[in-house]
Each structure stands twice: as C-alpha cells, then as structure tokens.
Amino acid sequence: HSVKMFDASANRALSGSEIMLCTLFSLRVLWFIWWLDPELTYGNAKPFVFTQGHSVCNRSFFPCFDTPAVKCTYSATVKAPAGIQVLMSATQSTYLEEEGVYQFYMEYPVPAYLVALVAGDLIHADIGPRSRVWAEPCLLPTAISKLSGIVERWLTAAESLYGPYIWGRYDIVFLPPSFPIVAMENPCLTFIISSILESDEFLIIDVIHEVAHSWFGNAVTNATWEEMWLSEGLATYAQRRITTETYGAAFTCLETAFRLDALHRQMKLLGEDNPVSKLQVKLEPGVNPSNLMNLFTYEKGYCFVYYLSQLCGDPRHFDSFLRAYIEKYKFTSVVAQDLLDSFLNFFPELKEQCVESKAGLEFERWLNATGPPLAEPDLSQGSSLTRPVETLFKLWTTEPLDSVAAASSADLTKWRTFQTVLFLDRLLDGSPLPHEVIKKLSECYSSQLDSMNAEIRIRWLQIVVRNDYYPDLYKVRRFLENQMSRMYTIPLYEDLCTGTLKSFALEIFYQTQNQLHPNLRKTIQQILSQGLNPLPAIDTTAVTTDTPAMVLEDKVSEATNGAISLRDVNVSA
C-alpha cells in the first residue's frame, strides 16, 4: 500500500515521496523488529513479533523519512497465519479472515517512529467506552482487573485539561518481558511491558504518562531529537497534572520526589558539567538519538515546564495556554522557540516583565546550561507521604543504631509503593552499609518485602548484593530465575559483577540463559565478560552488533551503574 508523505510542519506535500509499505508476518527483518519464539512469551503457545520505532529504528522496518520533523498518514496490509492477531498504531483496521489479511489506516499524520506493529497470541477485553486491553490469554484477567474503568477516568481528566482526545480509541497492548523499554506511546495503541502489571502504582504512572503523550509528543512533536524534552518534559508535566486531578497532590509530590531523587543520583554519577544534562543537547553525527535519552529529558524538562506554569500564578492558566498550544500546533512538529514564543504571546504581561531574561533563570540558560534544574517544584503538599520515609531512613543510618526504634517506627506493608522504593533507593545510595545495619534491616523487612511487587523486591536485592549479605543471596537467585525482563535483570547482574559475586552471577546466567531473549543474553554476557576471559559463545542468531539492548544500555551513559537503571526512567520515548 502506498503511503503519501508530507512535511506536516510546512503543511505541504513532499514531491515524489510515495513509498511502498508491505509488511508480511513471514518477513524476517533484523534489528528493531523483535521476533520471539513461543518459549519467550508468557503463554509458550505461539510466536510473537513487535516493532519498536523510537527513535530512528523504523528505517529498518520500512522506507521512510525517519525524522520527527516529517509526519505522514499511512496504510498497511499485513498477512498473518491463522490464530495470530495483528495490531498496528492506526485509527482504522479490517480483517479478511478467508485471506488472513489485515488492513490498517492511520488517518492523521504521525512521525515515522510512531508507526508500530505487534502480532501474536493476543485477545482483548473492553475496559471503557473507547478503550480495550490486549494481552496473552493468561495475562488478560490481570490486565482487566488493573485497568477496567480507570483509563477512561484518566482520559477524561486529560481532556478537561488539554482539550479533546483526537485519536479516537485508546487501546493498550501488554507485551512479553523482552519488550526493551517500559512503555511506548504509539497512537491509538500504547505498548506496555507485561512485567509492570504487578506494580500497581508504577502501572498507573506509566499508563498516564502515555496518555499524556497523546497531546504532547504525538499531536505536537519535537522537530529534532536534540529537543526531546519538548515531548518528555511536557508529557511528564501533563502526567502529573492528571495524577493531581485523579489521585491528589500528595501522591503526585511523592512520585515527583522519587523521580527527582533519581535525577540527582544520575547527576552525581555523570557530573554537573556533562553535556547530556542540557535540554538542548547537541546530537553529533553518527550518534543514535536514543543515547541522549535520560532523566534530564524527563525531569529537568519537567522542572522547566513547571517553572513556566508558576510564572502564570495559577496552573489552570497554564492549562489554558497548553490547550491553545495544542490547538495551534497539532499534527505538526515544533522547536523550543515555538513553545516559548507562544507562551510569551499568550501571556503578554509576562512578556512585558521580561521573564525570559530573569537573572539566573533565563530561558536560554534553562535550555543550554549543564547541571541540575535551575529551580525545582515545591513538594510540600506531599510531606505526609515523604516525611515518614525521611524519618525511617534517618533512624536506620544514624549512629549508634537503635534498631528497635527504627523497626517500630513504620509498617512498610501499609506504605505506598513509591514510599517504599524511595526508602530503599536511599539505602541503596548509602551502600555498603555497616554489617549490623544490613543484618537488622534483613531481620525487620526481608520477609515482608518478599511478598511485595518486583519494583520493591529488586531494590532490596540490590541492597543485598551491594552489601555482600550472603544470608539473602538465595533470594537473588530465585528472582533472576523467574525474570526475563531487562529492567529486572540488568541492574542485578551489573551489581553482582561490580562486587565479589561474579561467579555467582555466572552460575545463575548459565542456568537461565535459554529463557532470555538473544539480545538480553548478549547484553548480560558482555556484563559478565568484563574483566574475564571471553565467555563461551552464545547463540545470538539475528542479533546485530548494535542491538536494541545495547542502545538502551547506553541511554543513561557509560558512567552509570546499577544505581541508575532504566527502571529509574519512564522510558516511553
């Protein structure tokens, strides 16, 4: 099917730019089309395939202008074997059963990276008037129980803030643990890793973030990858406005405190003068734009947008501006100056005050200075949730240790997930801890944490590893034996290989490698090979040298380690 492409930012057709897109299920393209044998799915029943286009990966999928500056509509014909459900990020679809042919059409212009395909043993259930969830049969009941009814609540809240949802349907598909990132905001069809289903609060934030991208990123897109914050910073701000409307300011402040903690942790590792901490980062020739994606893109971008909202005096006034911004630029791509000029024109009184040149907070400095945000949000409305975390952390890290007082000061089983991970992250930052402290921590919390979600458990297990606490190492083994997701394996393998437990890591890897996707196996093999003789060859058929796994591994920086992992970033592109 021909795809007519045009430059949406210039609102003109691109002459001679019809390309052919014919996607066959049997086509075996390497690199960013991920082919999974049945054993790598949850159901172990049928093969599975998905694409991941962000940021410049869809050029391996179909011929295209692989830049966010160019948008197009598209149509696609996909042929698949009987019993394989095919989905795409499209507004319309039909299925000719007798021919096994699916036809898709996206009626609104989108950048190439938002064209997405998934196919496998997928079934669906409606969870709202314009939403359904797709998952493997064994996962569908869990997905329904987690999301039924509430996605519409989030969409309605977003519409009240930023105007109509323009994409028609908002469906969600849960992918196997080989999906290399947490979530991807493909229009009409959000991709989310199934591993996150057990972590309710992370699931909430991840889906709401993708909902926010329907306005910021999908409707209005950054024209260059050097300004990814225009999508991620604005989407993070919108996500937090939505959570404030639906769950209250305290919860939003808690989640923000957790993310800003991670930002400062990354800053400490990278150094304040690292150029990747700029919002307008320079993309050198030959560099994959995904390598520039980090917490600064999200959280420093968010802090700048939050600062702009505070200049207005009332966030509702800023909401009105963002509605007008979306209406003016929807289906086009923009640069930072478009946003800032629109902001000053919408608020002429601020333009008269020359807020863009306020000493120390100049817009230009926000964009081009390295280091932390020039200003951070007031999170005092979350103190009822963050203060207990600070108190407990202080009790456990003040000498001499009063373990009785520390153990009795809080019941982690009654805490929110974000409280517990914030506490554990701070313990992780302080590791290695005195042996008496880690021993008492294990006695107080280890059995409680065993029954909690993976976001909590992995942090406790990283603490165990970094403190060489051998009594709990069997839990590390058990965790890795049951995980196939990079976000729950890579951080632990990195920590195991940094310390004295590399042989333990090797043993686990050799026992579990067959249940891992080849790309993930290769990444772990490279971690394990550092400082050792080359490991025996592993079958990595269909894995290229520059695999998606390794590109994602570079997203933060070579300077990072297990303390900063992709689970610290809502990597939704």
511-540 in b/e form (b: 16+ CB < 10 A) is: ebeeebbbbbbbbbbebbeeeeeeeeebee
Rg (C-alpha) for the chain, rounded Å, is 23
Catalytic residue among 42, 298, 445, 469: 298
Asked whether the beta carbons of 84 and 121 are under 8 A apart, the reply is: yes
pLDDT at 287: 85
Overall CATH class of domain 33-214: alpha beta
pLDDT by residue (tens digit) across 527-573? Answer: 999 855 444 433 333 333 232 332 333 333 333 333 333 334 334 44
What is the domain partition of the chain in residue ranges? 33-214, 221-284+291-378, 382-529
Catalytic residue among 201, 210, 227, 553: 210
CA distance 568 to 314: 30
Give the residue among 303, 420, 423, 457 at the shortest CA–CA distance from 372. Answer: 303
Architecture of domain 221-284+291-378 in CATH? Answer: Orthogonal Bundle (1.10)
Is the pLDDT reported for residue 405 higher than 60? yes
Kindly write down the DSSP assignment for every residue of 400-430, as one continuous string: SP-HHHHHHS--GGGS-HHHHHHHHHHHHHT
Kindly write down the DSSP assignment for every residue of 437-480, as one continuous string: HHHHHHHHHHHHHHTS-HHHHHHHHHHHHHTT-GGGHHHHHHHH
Is the pLDDT reported for residue 11 higher than 60? no
At residue 106, the 3 state secondary structure works out as strand
pLDDT at 567: 36
CA distance 141 to 63: 38
**Domain 33-214 identical in fold to domain 221-284+291-378:** no
What value does the mean pLDDT of the chain take?
88
pLDDT band at 297 (very low <50, low <70, confident <90, very high): very high
Give the residue among 141, 132, 147, 136 at the shortest CA–CA distance from 178. Answer: 136
pLDDT by residue (tens digit) across 79-95? Answer: 999 999 999 999 999 99
Determine if residue 264 is labeled as part of a ligand binding site: no
- 390 burial class (0-12, 13-18, 19+ CB within 10 angstroms)? middle
Asked whether the beta carbons of 425 and 459 are under 8 A apart, the reply is: yes
Give the residue among 142, 76, 82, 71 at the shortest CA–CA distance from 103. Answer: 76
Q: Which residue has the higher pLDDT, 500 or 246?
A: 246
Asked whether the beta carbons of 267 and 564 are under 8 A apart, the reply is: no
Q: Percentage of the chain with pLDDT > 70?
A: 87
pLDDT by residue (tens digit) across 204-250? Answer: 999 999 999 999 999 999 999 999 999 999 999 999 999 999 999 99
Mean pLDDT of 401-420: 93
Examine the residue annotation and report whether 298 is marked as an active-site residue of this protein: yes
pLDDT at 75: 98
pLDDT by residue (tens digit) across 307-364? Answer: 999 999 999 999 999 999 999 999 999 999 999 999 999 999 999 999 999 999 999 9
Q: Give the position of tokens 């323009």.
A: 166
Cα 363 to Cα 348, 354, 456, distances in angstroms: 16, 10, 38
Fold (CATH) for 382-529: 1.25.40
419-452 in b/e form (b: 16+ CB < 10 A) is: bbbbbbbbbbeebebeeebbebbbebbbeebeeb
Q: Which residue has the higher pLDDT, 493 or 542?
A: 493
pLDDT at 151: 98
Most confident region among 29-38, 471-480, 532-541 by mean pLDDT = 471-480
Examine the residue annotation and report whether 210 is marked as an active-site residue of this protein: yes
Please give the backbone phi and psi of residue 56, each rounded to the nearest 5 degrees, phi first: -130, 45
pLDDT at 530: 85
pLDDT at 32: 75
Asked whether the beta carbons of 312 and 347 are under 8 A apart, the reply is: yes
Determine if residue 54 is labeled as part of a ligand binding site: no
User: Does the model's pTM come out above 0.85?
Assistant: yes
pLDDT by residue (tens digit) across 135-190? Answer: 999 999 999 999 999 999 999 999 999 999 999 999 999 999 999 999 999 999 99
